[in-house]
Amino acid sequence: MAQAQHDQKIPGCIRKMSNLERGYYMHPGCNVAVVARIAGTVSEPDLCRALAAVRRIHPFAGAKIVTDEDHNVWFSAGNIPEPPLRVVERTSDTQWFAELQSELKVPFRLVEGPLIRFLLVHSRWVSDLVIICSHSICDGVALTNLIRDILELYADQGKKITVLPPPEIADYLPQARGFSCKTLLPRLFARYGNRCWRKSPHYFSQEDYEAVTRAFWEDREFGAVLIGLGQEETAALAARCRKEGVTIGSAVMVACIAAHEDCAGAFTKNRKLVLIPFDLRRHATRPIGDVFCLCVGGAQFPFTYHSDKPFWANAVALHTEIHRRVKDLDSAGMGISAFDPSFIDAFACFAMLKQMIPDEAFTRTENLARFSEDTKNIAFTFARNAGNMITGTIASNLGKLSIPETYGDLRLDRIIFLPPASELVPLVLGGVTLGGNLEYSLTYIEQKDDRDASRTTEMIRIRNRALELLGFPEKVRPGAIE
Asked if residues 406 and 156 have their Cβ atoms less than 8 Å apart, the reply is: no
- Domains 2-156 and 219-334+389-400+419-475 are alike in CATH topology: yes
Q: Is residue 24 within 8 Å of residue 115, measured between CB atoms?
A: no
Question: Has residue 402 got a pLDDT over 80?
Answer: yes
pLDDT tens figures, 226-275: 999 999 999 999 999 999 999 999 999 999 999 999 999 999 988 999 99
DSSP secondary structure string for all residues of 56-91: HH-GGGG-EEEE-TTS-EEEE-TTPPPPPEEEEE--
| Domain extent listing, the chain | 2-156, 183-217+335-384, 219-334+389-400+419-475
- Least confident piece of the model among 37-46, 346-355, 451-460: 451-460
What is residue 189's predicted lDDT score, i.e. its pLDDT? 82
Predicted TM-score of the model (pTM): 0.95
What is the spatial distance between Cα 458 and Cα 453, in angstroms, rounded to a whole number?
8
**One-letter amino acid identity for 43?**
S
Of 175 and 361, the structure prediction assigns the larger pLDDT to: 361
- CA distances for 51 relative to 140, 157, 439, angstroms: 18, 12, 25
| Contact yes or no for 250/322 (Cβ under 8 A) | yes
Dihedrals phi, psi of 454, to nearest 5 degrees: -65, 125
Architecture of domain 219-334+389-400+419-475 in this structure: 2-Layer Sandwich (3.30)
Are the beta carbons of 346 and 204 closer than 8 angstroms?
A: yes
Cis peptide before 114 (omega within 30 of 0): yes
Tell me the three-class secondary structure of 124-145, residue by residue.
CCEEEEEEEEECCCCCHHHHHH
Q: Which H/E stretch holds residue 469? A: helix 455-470
CA distance 18 to 136: 9
Distance CA 385, CA 193 (A): 13
Q: Give the whole-number percent of the chain exceeding pLDDT 90.
A: 81
Q: What is the pLDDT of residue 241?
A: 98
Q: What is d(CA 473, CA 457) in angstroms, rounded to the nearest whole number? A: 18
Gap between the Cα atoms of 121 and 128, Å rounded: 5
Cα–Cα nearest to 34, from 453, 454, 365, 419 = 419
pLDDT of 181 reads 57
Q: How many CB atoms lie within 10 A of CB 319?
A: 21
Among 145-159, 330-344, 353-367, 419-433, the range scoring the smallest mean pLDDT is 330-344
Residue 171 pLDDT more than 80? Answer: no
* pLDDT at residue 182 greater than cutoff 70: no
pLDDT, residue 355, reads: 85
pLDDT tens string 58-68: 999 999 999 99
Q: Is the pLDDT of residue 176 over 60?
A: no
Looking at residue 1, its pLDDT comes to 41
User: What is the sign, positive or negative, of the torsion defined by CA atoms of 109, 110, 113, 118?
Assistant: positive
Q: Could you give the 3-state DSSP secondary structure of residue 117?
A: strand
CB 31 within 8 A of CB 133: yes
Would you place residue 173 in the very low, low, confident or very high pLDDT band (cuts 50, 70, 90)? Answer: low
Lowest-pLDDT range, 78-87, 292-301, 328-337? 328-337
**CATH 3.30.1330.30 at 2-156, yes or no:** no
Instruction: Tell me the pLDDT band of 7, cut-offs 50, 70 and 90.
Output: low
429 strand-pairing partners = 395, 442
What percent of the chain is predicted at pLDDT more than 70? Answer: 94
N residues, the chain: 482
Q: Has residue 164 got a pLDDT over 60?
A: yes
Instruction: Give the bridge partners for 221, in sequence order.
Output: 446
* Position 98 pLDDT exceeds 90: yes
